[in-house]
Amino acid sequence: MNGYWNERVKCISPYVPGEQPRDRQFIKLNTNENPYPPSPKVIEAIKNAADDRLRLYPDPECTEFREAVAARYGVKTQQVFAGNGSDEILAFAFGAFFESGQKGEARGDNALPVLFPDITYSFYPVYAELWDIPYQTVPLCEDFSINTAEYKTDCGGAVFPNPNAPTGMALALDEILSLAEFLEKRKKVFIVDEAYIAFSADKSGAPGSLSVVSHINEYPNLLTVHTLSKSASLAGLRAGYAIGSEELLEGLRRMRDSFNSYTLDRLALAGAAAAVKDTQYYNEINRRVIAVREKTAKALNSMGFHVLPSQANFLFIKPPDVSAVELFAALREKGILVRHFKKNRIADFLRVSVGTDEDMDTFIKSCGEITGR
């Protein structure tokens, strides 16, 4: 233990990202990256921004990017907040909207816990611990779905992804809105992390149609958080945005400007704005991701795997005949990376990002060889 650390640093358990290998070539199915390249318009915009203007600070309000998001979703620019990836925005949101358990005139001694699932994005407890926020995990149902009724209780607010991670399972729109209404009556913030929403669909079949963005004016406590890492093939760019009421966004700005007013650089802003505008390109590649996901799930089911119904760009699978740890190791030997979580209830599962057709054909073949199926 480092003697120079303060108590906060000593007590937190940092998030552990997926492996990014440098020593050999792998088929990377472990970090939910999009297997297809960014839009050519994004690359062009970044190149055009790489000039002598880099000597100047970027726009702290990220105006062009926010205007592009607002136009895409039909909201006001003032209802859009931009950040250095959705992780930064989530960190700001935890600090802005969920009460610390510390003593103080403005905080009180008995802050109610923020709620999120026991199996979900593992950064949430890290943020809570960082900000000294009391939290309570709500167990998923036996089928790994979220029961929103269990969140309708006295709490400090709620947050979860839809679709959830790492399960990939999504909630219907009416369930999300019902919980938003419950929490709004108690003036508690509800954050819906829509990192994978572009790969989901309601009964209409339209990609992204499970998003709650169109309802933010009905529920001023509802904040949706988005990333360009997955749906826009820009995990290496680091850009995200939140959409919500102007009151919520002012809270995020206050947090941002207490750390760093210039969260996105000029190149990232140019690329992010171009990505948001090129819906035709991204709708096409993400439909391909969905098609490959469904094809892979069908193949794995036929081999005896237990595959959760996914509306994300990954699958959560339990192998037959071998343990998840054995399959993880055997796949790595074959040059395929997937993700394993050493947690209760899901230690027998692997999360598999959806790659190209060729990637997934290799993955399916390798699974068959390893399991004897």
- How confident is the model at residue 9, as a pLDDT? 86
pLDDT at 246: 97
SS3 assignment for 99-113: CCCCCCCCCCCCCCC
The domain defined by 7-30+286-371 folds into Aspartate Aminotransferase, domain 1 (3.90.1150)
Task: Write down the pLDDT at residue 103.
Answer: 42
**123: phi then psi, degrees, rounded to nearest 5:** -80, -25
Percent of the chain with pLDDT over 70: 97
Mean pLDDT for 187-207 is 91
Q: How confident is the model at residue 11 (pLDDT cuts 50, 70, 90)?
A: confident
The answer, yes or no, to whether residue 22 has pLDDT greater than 80, is no
Answer whether residue 102 shows pLDDT above 60: no
The reported pTM is: 0.94
The architecture in CATH of the region 40-279 reads 3-Layer(aba) Sandwich (3.40)
pLDDT for position 373: 77
d(CA 302, CA 110): 52
Kindly list the domain boundaries of the chain, sorted by start residue: 7-30+286-371, 40-279
pLDDT, one tens digit per residue, over 109-121 is: 568 999 999 999 9
Q: What is the pLDDT of residue 10?
A: 85
Does residue 369 carry a pLDDT above 80? yes
The per-residue pLDDT for range 262-317, each reduced to its tens digit, is 999 999 999 999 999 999 999 999 999 999 999 999 999 999 999 999 999 999 99
When pLDDT is cut at 50, 70 and 90, the band that residue 24 belongs to is low
Residue from 207, 366, 349, 226 nearest 289 by CA: 207
More confident call, 209 vs 245: 245
For 70, the token pair is 């607002």
Mean pLDDT of the chain, nearest integer: 94
3-state helix, strand, coil in the chain (%, to 5): 40, 15, 50
